[in-house]
Amino acid sequence: MKKILVLFSFVLSSCILSAQQLYSESSILMGSSFNISVVAEDEEFAKESLALAKEEIVRIEKLISSWIQGSETSKINQNAGVAAVKVSKELFDLIYRAQQISKLTSGAFDISFAAVGKLWEFDGRESQMPDQEILNASIVNIGHHLIELNEEASTVFLLKKGMRIGFGAIGKGYAADRAKQVLVERGVVGGIINASGDMNTWGTKPDGSSWTIGIVNPMNNKKVFSWFSLEHDAVVTSGDYEKFTQINGERYSHIIDPRTGIPAKGIVSCTVFAGKAELADALATAVFVMGKEAGLFLINQLPNIEAILIDDSGMIHRSKNIEIEEN
């Protein structure tokens, strides 16, 4: 799978008359901005399709949110170190896949990172690192190996009190995948789901051209530094240009290294291309934590996965199947 990115250029599609039109709707879902667009000939069909996609995203949120009382995820966290919790096959499988990504990334991605997340606010008020003793007390409760899964009983058990799981680094991607699946099964021929940077597309625009996706310039988030075409694929961009902190003159992203409890630094933007937004979401987080050398080494070992990174000096780094044409 080869991606060609053209810097500082625009892709212009010719206008072809078609009975199909693009219908879009934006909503705040899962605490983030979701924009869902579908290609359809009938307005009523399009509106019903958009409503079904939103319903699916809301359903996913109720399943994976750790803040909604009574959710399966909340029950898992409430019973940390106490008892195993029986969960639906859907949530069990999602946690299992998350564990596999944790193993693949040597712990750079870990849904149990939630145990340390509360130590950071990223509201500009941090002026120093949390006390090391506090950090140490939190990271002992982090580790994918401490999440015990029983497939036969469909149970999840967090082995230590103080543990928490959270799907902030994979949840929106999974929701985008599920919304896409609902729409494809309904017969929607094309569309794009943008979950605050977690994108999933299929088909084409009404004029038959490919979807055009832009990557935000991390040095100026009001501008796009690159545009590219995407079909039947997912792309996720993680960036620290909206949420970061500076301590002792060093810039730290809002993405926390689960192994240390300290926010990652060195990369300001990471875009990952994959077949599923869930996987791209998780890998974008992992690469952010791993850094450009280790991160790109991992990406280059994975089939049909590519990435483009921008470091804190503005340099662009890419995986082996990405070609960049500068104009």
pLDDT at 268: 87
Answer whether 116's CB lies under 8 Å from 138's CB.
yes
The domain boundary residue, chosen from 107, 130, 158:
158
What is the reported pTM? 0.87
- Residue 73 in this model has a pLDDT that exceeds 90: yes
What per-residue confidence (pLDDT) applies to 12?
41
Same domain, 184 and 320: yes
| Domain shared by 50 and 74, yes or no | no
Q: What confidence tens digit (pLDDT) does each residue in 108-134 have?
A: 999 999 888 667 665 666 667 777 887
Cβ neighbors of 173 (< 8 A, separation 6 or more) are 195, 198, 234, 236, 276, 277, 278, 279, 280, 281, 282
Q: What is the mean pLDDT of residues 31-53?
A: 96
For residue 249, what are the domain limits? 3-63+170-326
Instruction: Identify whether the C-beta of residue 174 lies closer than 8 Å to the C-beta of residue 64.
Output: yes
Task: Write down the mean pLDDT value for the chain.
Answer: 86
Radius of gyration of the chain measured on its C-alpha atoms: 20
pLDDT-based confidence at residue 230 (cuts at 50, 70, 90): confident
- Strand-strand pairing, 32-40 and 190-195: antiparallel
Predicted confidence band of residue 14 (pLDDT cuts 50, 70, 90) = very low
pLDDT of residue 220: 58
What is the CATH number for 231? Answer: 3.10.520.10
* 199 and 227 share one domain: yes
269 in a structural domain: yes
For residue 7, what pLDDT is reported?
47
Q: DSSP secondary structure string, 233-273?
A: -EEEEEESSSSEEEETTEEEES-B-TTTSSB--SEEEEEEE
253 belongs to a structural domain? yes
CB neighbour burial string for 261-273, b if at least 16 within 10 angstroms, e if fewer: bbbbbbbbbbbbb
What is the SS3 assignment for 59?
helix
CATH number of the domain enclosing 152: 1.10.3980.10
